Amino acid sequence: MPEATPAGRPVDCDVLVVGYGPVGQTLTILLAQCGYRVTVLERKAEPYPRPRAVHYDDEIARVFAAAGIGDQVAAISMPSGEYDWQNADGRTLLHFDWGAAGLSGWPASNMFAQPRLEAVLAARAESFPTVRVRRGWQAAGLTEHDDRVEVTATGLDGGSEVIAARYVVGCDGANSFVREWLGTGLTDLGFFYDWLILDVVPHDQEREWKPFNLQICDPVRPTTVVSGGPGRRRWEFMRLPHETIEQLNNEETAWRLLARWELTPDNADLERHTVYTFQARWADAWRRGRVVIAGDAAHLMPPFAGQGMCSGIRDCANLAWRLDLVLSGRAGDALLDTYTSERSAHIQNAIGMSVELGNVICLTDPAAVAARDEVMLKAEGRPEVALPPIPPPVLGPGVLSVTADGAPFGVAGQLSPQGLVRSAAGTTGLFDQVTGTGFVLLGRGESIKNIDESARASLAELGAHVVRLLPADAEVADVAEAADGTEAVADVDGRYQQWLDAVGYEAVVIRPDFYVFGGATSAAEVPALLGELFGQLGLVTTTAS
């Protein structure tokens, strides 16, 4: 593992992460898993004890699994199941059923308490001997050099220190110091609503909440009533134009509003009350030289789709493999350029969706409310009919296979599915658990049989899994352990065959963040696909080919 920069000057760590919220924690784990030395500065001496995010999706569950904590996170979460929107009369405007597994193979929608998640993430991050977490230390100054960045850290005890790192990632939240240093502009959609957030632990833990998650689209008081993870409930009440924050944000108001659900200080604990201003904005640049930002430091959105933290975790998955290739010298640092372009387009989709939902939920004008209810009631609760069409989230321009006119080829830039597979050893499970994570070349039939030595060497350099996909009933052992390093798996639930049929690929390259780099419609196209991948990565092959 490198101890110094390529110029030979010593550094204290490979990556300095500023901020130890869920985003900084996840990035720390993903980098430490690759063997890098990560130092974290967190200005608070103690973890933030109050819940914020309560929902994450199947894609994020897959990232947590890749971070080695899939089961631990599942143990502090619960599938969210149904989510209904009702109008003022209690009639169903929208009905979502999120009980099943999502595209990524994990439950589509999960409820949790953020402090519990952060405890799981911290325990995992701090289990690596190369990770140093310095709580009570704040990043206060930053100087970039050709080969490193020096960060001045100030301690709560009045101490001060300079830490040298090859890269710095600001995961330092909405008021990011690192973003300020980048000097980037912000695009702000001008969406500002204040909401009172109440986190409640009802004493009666057997009480049934039906629907389990509910949005009350009542112009008199738009209200959210959802799970806060095992044992907890979350209420959110919109501030009305005639109210002040002070009138809303106090215990008396909290209990008055909760009385509708027959909750009182005698039968429930109010963990906290606070008012958040929901906003929709993103930084225009997420990187300058050796300094990068991720998570709330780079973007903010209203929580109506439960995607704020999720988006930050996606940033980590996108950034970690790039930093790995750059820090190990397998790719030049131009690879970091497309982090912003890919993630920014994706985040704008998430922000757009959250704002769309917010615009529907936050309505107070009676005429607009009547028009909304009419449309939604006619659609009989079907979101695909009632809501404006939202384009699927796709990465912006970046490390993606493109057509001659520069457009993504096929489903390049979209999230890949994860199905159940069976290995030669007879292990059945989700693909990542059976095969491992990282770059994947997955092909069916004979499509990946004739890869030449040089391409194999480059795939090995990337640590890629080259996997032959077999039908569900195939004898995997017969074709596995090929001398050329190809693995084989049976497509137990047929998910990959169905997907490849639908997108018209015979082979596909999936990136470590689970997004599709590109596909080949025949075996003959596979060499060109791989050549495009290595070229776009700027892969520096160090092994003999």
Quick one: 304 or 517, whose CB is closer to ligand FAD?
304
Q: Output the smallest distance, CB 524 to ligand FAD, in A.
A: 43
Of residues 41 and 459, the one with the C-beta less far from ligand FAD: 41
Produce one character per residue of 236-261: b if its CB has 16 or more CB atoms within 10 Å, e if not: bbbbeeebeeeebbeeebbbebbeee
Six-digit token string for 351: 């922000």
Burial category of 226 from C-beta neighbours within 10 Å (exposed 0-12, middle 13-18, buried 19 and up): buried
Examine residue 306 and tell whether it contacts ligand FAD (CB under 6 A): yes
Q: Is 296 in the site for ligand FAD (CB under 6 A)?
A: yes
Beta carbons within 10 angstroms of residue 206's beta carbon: 5
Q: Which of 135, 276, 402, 457 binds ligand FAD (CB under 6 A)?
A: 276
Closest approach of Cβ 303 to ligand FAD, in Å?
A: 4
Q: Which is nearer to ligand FAD, 119 or 379 (CB)?
A: 119
Closest to ligand FAD by CB, 236 or 525: 236
Minimum distance of ligand FAD from residue 433's CB (angstroms): 24
Under rule CB under 6 A, which residues in 415-454 are in contact with ligand FAD?
A: none
Q: Is position 54 an interface residue for ligand FAD (rule: CB under 6 A)?
A: yes
Among 11, 17, 23, 523, binds ligand FAD (CB under 6 A): 23
- DSSP string for residues in 184-233: --EEE----EEEEEEEEEES-TT---SSSEEEEE-TT--EEEEE-STT-E
Measured from the CB atom, is 307 or 416 closer to ligand FAD?
307
Task: Record the tokens describing residue 296, joined without a space.
Answer: 């709330």
- Candidates 13, 14, 17, 21: give the one binding ligand FAD (CB under 6 A): 21
Q: Is 410 in the site for ligand FAD (CB under 6 A)?
A: no
* Binding of ligand FAD by 222 (CB under 6 A): no
Residue with smaller CB distance to ligand FAD, 44 or 221: 44
To the nearest whole angstrom, how small is the minimum distance from the Cβ of residue 100 to ligand FAD?
19
Q: How many helices (H) and strands (E) does the chain have?
A: 16, 28
Q: Is 22 in the site for ligand FAD (CB under 6 A)?
A: yes
Angle 254-255-258 from CA coordinates, rounded to 5°: 90
Pairing of strands 420-422, 428-430: antiparallel
Site stretch for ligand FAD (CB under 6 A), options 41-49, 84-92, 362-370, 525-533: 41-49
In terms of CB distance, is 44 or 95 closer to ligand FAD?
44
Stretch in the footprint of ligand FAD (CB under 6 A) among 12-20, 78-86, 393-401, 449-457: 12-20
Q: Which is nearer to ligand FAD, 112 or 496 (CB)?
A: 112
Phi-psi region of 123 (alpha: psi -120 to 50; beta: other; left: phi over 0): alpha
Q: Does residue 139 bind ligand FAD (CB under 6 A)?
A: yes
Q: How many residues does the chain have?
A: 545
Residue 18 lies near ligand FAD (rule: CB under 6 A): yes
* Residue 347, CA distances (Å) to 32, 219, 350, 403 in order: 26, 29, 5, 24
Q: Which of 13, 16, 53, 516 binds ligand FAD (CB under 6 A)?
A: 53
The 3-state DSSP class for residue 513 equals coil
Torsion of CA 143, 144, 145, 151, to 10 degrees: 50
Neighbours of 202 (CB within 10 A): 18
134 binds ligand FAD (CB under 6 A): no
CA distance 226 to 209: 9
Q: Pinpoint the alpha helices (H) of 249-336.
A: 251-258, 308-327
Binding status of residue 138 toward ligand FAD by CB under 6 A: yes
Provide the minimum distance between the beta carbon of 174 and ligand FAD in the complex, in angstroms, as a whole number.
Answer: 6
Task: Give dist(CA 542, CA 50) in Å, integer.
Answer: 48
- Identify which of residues 216 and 459 has a Cβ nearer to ligand FAD in the complex: 216
Give the contact letters, 307-336, x = binds to ligand FAD (CB under 6 A), - = no.
xxxx-x------------------------
Cα dihedral 393, 397, 403, 407, rounded to 10, equals: 60
Determine the interface stretch with ligand FAD among 54-62, 183-191, 446-454, 469-477 (rule: CB under 6 A): 54-62
Examine residue 39 and tell whether it contacts ligand FAD (CB under 6 A).
no
Nearer to ligand FAD (CB atom), residue 53 or residue 526: 53
- Are the C-beta atoms of residues 470 and 491 closer than 8 Å to each other? yes
Of 291, 319, 323, residue with least CA distance to 182: 291
What is the rounded distance in angstroms from the CA atom of residue 95 to the CA atom of residue 258?
24
> In the complex, what is the shortest distance from the CB of residue 114 to ligand FAD, in angstroms, rounded to a whole number?
6
Told to check if 173 binds ligand FAD by CB under 6 A, we report yes
Stretch that binds ligand FAD, among 100-108, 281-289, 305-313, 424-432 (CB under 6 A): 305-313
Interface ranges with ligand FAD (CB under 6 A): 18-24, 41-44, 48, 52-56, 138-139, 171-173, 177, 197, 276, 295-296, 303, 306-310, 312
